[in-house]
Amino acid sequence: MKRLYFTVLTFVLAAPAFAQDIDAGKLLRMRDSLDNILMVNPTSSAILVRKGELELYSFNTLMSSKTFNDREGNSSYQPGKYSLFNSLFQVNYGLSKSRRINVGLDVSYRSYRLDADKGSSSLKVLSGDASNLKGLNYAGFRVRVVPFKKLRNFTWQSYVWLPTAPKDVRYSLGSNKVNFGNTLFYYTYLTRKLGMFLQANMTFAFANSSPNPDGTLSYTELYLPLSASLSYVVTPKDIVFGSLTYSWVNDDARNFKEGADHDFAQFSAGYQRIISKRFFANIVYSGTMFARNYGEWNSFSFGVRYLY
């Protein structure tokens, strides 16, 4: 784990040394098309808007898994096919003329389904079938800032999400705990067409005072996803990108030093269309490279962003 963080830190610090000399004005004009190309673990768009501007952002993911891997990463028994749909909607408002402080609201919807038939369609999770567990599972507040005036390509975000799903399905949807998270975003340009985007997140899902519905004790969970992506500007309005993500999960945050209870790595590839200065859309495919004590998930995502 220490080696992983050291590698990521070295990558971040070394990247500017390889970047070509690019006009600073052009960098700022290109922000909206390059600094939020991918959210594998979407906590927000990484864009900051100016004072008085309002950003609407939606990221929607359809996931499925037919295989569960044991702690050694070998395929284990899974009774059927799991399907999951997540939809994150954000409203983001600018407080400063220099685009350094934004505040916002987040709302998350989730639908979950287990099919005995592994050949069933993942789209069933979007239907009105009574066997689907679904609901608005989180709502919360967020602040996003550029902490260093001279380092505009580095952004810090902090957020709190509160459970909002009906109490009888919160535990099954995995959204029965208050979440507190912090995210670091960093981007740079290696050439005029090639951009790099890094994201590191740390989220705590705080334990409840009462036991879980199944009688087990509630513990504070820890999530540590890291991702790095490269984007290529095919045309001023067309961008393709790819990324690698590693996620570390502890069911009990106190056991962090003992290693992850679950961890996995994913690859992603996508395309973004800059429709106008105020509107873009992207599509992403993600697959699992390895997973330990976790399912092998693959997903399709669709994101849209509009600026008022």
Which CATH number fits the domain that encloses residue 59?
A: 2.40.160.40
pLDDT value at residue 26 = 39
Q: Any residues with CB less than 8 A from the CB of 24 and at least 6 apart, and which?
A: none
pLDDT number for residue 17: 36
What does the pLDDT average to over 189-215? 85
Distance between start and end Cα atoms, the chain: 42
CA distance 125 to 121: 8
Examine the pLDDT at 103 and tell me if it is beyond 90.
Answer: yes
pTM score, two decimals? Answer: 0.80
Alpha-carbon distance of 93 to 106, in angstroms, equals 12
- Mean pLDDT for the stretch of residues 170-189: 86
- Residue 8 reports pLDDT greater than 80: no
Owning domain of residue 18: 2-307
The number of distinct structural domains making up the chain is 1
Segment 148-152 mean pLDDT: 84
- Residue 171: pLDDT above 90? no
Q: Supply the DSSP symbol for 1.
A: -
Q: How far apart are CA 255 and CA 128, in angstroms?
A: 40
